[in-house]
Chain A
């Protein structure tokens, strides 16, 4: 291109024209995506921020700007505080347990030569299953009188709790389902991380006197998996904060608000009570939490790149 342009001065303007036409084509190809992004992401996000400062309720005409009133109400709102707390507890249970189990299963599968594919399929199955449907199956398992789980506990002489029906155990019940659903996903990410560890590191560790499997894990596997683990952790936290399906299907936030979680509370206020303004303020808080978590994730991803 450059040679031709030098040889023929008239081609410079041709090159300029070509560049312009290329830019025009680019805008044209990107325009549907830009329009839809504006329509379905940017404008609604701005709208939710603005609505958070209003008292808009669906079904009533007009609304007024009320400043920070929604936010003041929010932090005095017992349901919302309960909901924040429950979401935190749920996240603090599901994240570490699903990471530990995901890593454990990945290590076991990796060191086993036979049945690898079978076990991977079994542990991954929940990720590919309809969560609302499987939550229903769990509800049957958890049933206090006819459920198989408590029947099994009774065999060993333990009187099982009313898992989803009692406010002291409902979050644990939901957490068990949450863990069951995420372990397979974490396992796949860990398996990918494990295959990336160079084999000779283990040989080197052995030469250096790391004889037991645990020593090799402590000296080689764990540090080499560091970036993967951080990555898995942020993903697990983000997906736990978004817990909704199981709560809506099984408990509706109850009993006695013991399983109110953020998205469920937003759903209730916004789409059941139709208090759009107030629910928007909640959404802004939810979005702020997500953005902080995702910023951490981007940083982790950056670090992951630098390690490689």
Chain B
């Protein structure tokens, strides 16, 4: 394909660039407003460069009103525990369904398909009542427990494991490995691409989730990033957009940086969620 600058290309490139600007607009104005003083924000909506650089002040203000490090830490802990349990539960189960002969595998498949139909929004009410009865609201356990099982992970790993050659497993068994050893030392390393894709999907989903944390957490000590931002907004009576945008910026940054560093895996990983809807 030659790279002459014909009319078609000019139109295409300008359309793409215009669209890109529109898509970046929230980020651009967020970064701009995070550096403006209150008066500056009210005076000039369209000038992107702050008249005085107010980043440090706004970030300090945001940090003093909401404990951002704790929020990010909670996000890391919750997403980390969820991911580890999901993989530890789903991999052996998917292995059994894919590679072992047992009567239950059809029943398991039905359970998985059924599970794929039911989102957290549908099970939230009884789970909330249960956690309330057990006095387990406002805890990491409440944030993590409902997501300890991911039928989507089982579904994804199952398809991946079916494609792994049986010889691999037979060889490991002949070497005297136990079934658990086969799972840990043969299946898991070979399933690494599927696990990374699922990891990205899972972390993005739970890092962003507002619905369940909003239900079980009222104490800001256990708030995840989206919930913490919501608390901050609620506490913020006026229109202090400078501080609000500074807080927003800091909270958005970690995931965006992760995405920019591992774009290809992100796109693949999230595109896989297409299966889940």
Contacts and interface: CB of A to CB of B under 8 A. Distances in A.
Contact of A23 (B13, B89, B103, B244): B103
Interface majority SS (helix, strand, loop, mixed), chain B: helix
Contact of B93 (A29, A45, A111, A242): A29
A280 B125 contact: yes
Given A37-B115, A109-B16, A188-B267, A133 B97 contact: no
User: Which one of A36, A48, A130, A270 has the highest number of Cβ atoms from chain B below 10 Å of its Cβ?
Assistant: A130
A22 B102 contact: yes
Nearest to A18: B101
A194 interface: no
Interface stretch (B53-61, B190-198, B202-210): B202-210
Contacts of A213: 8
Nearest to A119: B16
B122 interface: yes
Interface stretch (A66-74, A199-207, A282-290): A282-290
A235 interface: yes
B238 interface: no
A140 interface: yes
A33 B241 contact: no
Contact of A140 (B101, B215, B245): B245
User: Which one of B41, B105, B129 has the highest number of Cβ atoms from chain A below 10 Å of its Cβ?
Assistant: B129
Interface string A13-45: 000000100110111011011101101111111
A151 interface: yes
A108 B16 contact: yes
B contact residues, range: 35 or more
Interface majority SS (helix, strand, loop, mixed), chain A: helix
Contact of B256 (A40, A45, A128, A188): A128
A2 interface: no
A113 B26 contact: no
18 contacts: A22-B100, A26-B97, A29-B92, A29-B183, A32-B89, A33-B108, A42-B114, A101-B19, A105-B16, A120-B267, A122-B20, A128-B266, A129-B252, A137-B27, A141-B29, A192-B271, A239-B277, A270-B125
